[in-house]
Structure 1
Amino acid sequence: MKKEKSCGLILFDLQKDKTLVLVIDQKTHWGFPKGHVENNETEEQTAIREVWEETGIDAIPFATDQIRLVSNYIIYDNTPKEVVYFIGIPTHKNITKQEEEINDAKWVKTTEAYNILSYNEDKEHLTQCLKFLNKLKPFDVWKKYLK
């Protein structure tokens, strides 16, 4: 049976007084950057490539051995699809969107993202990421020293 698989990153920009997340308008809905696995790519390689292709942002997957978020559903032609997300840290925040695939991409406060994201499953993934990040002691230390 044919099955599709996509991978992406939920990118966070940690600032002293707020945490931002990258959301994209994928023409039919708002979500996180992701795309199809190509050839012999790993999930992480696919996620990095897709984020760069869609947004022009180089990113580093974070704690992939500790948090891996998965959605499974059936797409329009009854094909099963699996989507895998990891937390990502951007090396820069400048967005250069890929016009052919997305309408918009923007950094928003995490609280605002809940009103923008189209699917409840993406909102749940965001919640899981934030819970994971908030458990990390280095996360607290990191935020203290940000400007």
Structure 2
Amino acid sequence: MALRACGLIIFRRCQVPKVDNSAIEFLLLQASNGINHWTPPKGHVEPGENDLETALRETKEEAGIEAGQLTIIEGFRKELNYVAWGKPKTVIYWLAEVKDYDVEIHLSHEHQAYHWLGLAEACQLVQFEDMKTTLQEGHQFLCSTAA
């Protein structure tokens, strides 16, 4: 049976686009263990939790961002399936926008650094192709649904 994890692709909208013309920045956390990879906050589903509850709990635990500080974006849900530490794993992600551009990040012991990055920079930092694709699809979804 595959391990199941859930997380949020957290983003913020820049008031003034950056030099590279990016108006959306993604939050990536650097793991403290293994290969020190960069991902959005995520974690394993605990008994009695639904997937979205897991994603919100893990975001609070790993980045210090409360559910009330986020807006979950309807219509985007991405499921990744891969092998981690020799076992099959399923991770489900939703898009979530921070309500406060300057929200404080408080990392748990599981992470050693964080960055807010535009799409191109974020895709350079993440090491796994399926995560790059997920960020690109999330960005495309946000750009296509922007008012």
Q: TM-score range by the shorter chain?
A: 0.7 to 0.9
Q: Which moved more, 1:66-75 or 1:47-56?
A: 66-75
CA RMSD of superposed structures (Å):
1.4
Runs of 4+ in structure 1 off by over 6 angstroms are none
Q: Which aligned pairs between 1:1-147 and structure 2 lie closer than 5 A?
A: 2-16=1-15, 17=17, 18-27=23-32, 28-58=36-66, 59-63=70-74, 66-77=75-86, 79-92=87-100, 93-98=103-108, 100-136=109-145, 139-140=146-147
Q: Which moved more, 1:115-124 or 1:89-98?
A: 89-98
Assess, with a 3 A threshold, how the Cα gap between structure 1 residues 41 and 60 changes in structure 2: closer, same or farther. farther
Structure 1: how far apart are the matches of 2:84 and 2:124? 24
TM-score when normalising by structure 2: 0.84
Q: How many pairs align? A: 133
Q: Which structure 2 segments of 5+ residues have no match?
A: 18-22
Identity of aligned residues (%): 29
Q: Which structure 1 segments of 5+ residues have no match?
A: 141-147
Cα deviation, 1:41-78, whole Å, max 9, x if unaligned, reads 11111111111100101233221xx221111112223x
Instruction: Report the secondary structure of 2:46's partner residue.
Output: coil
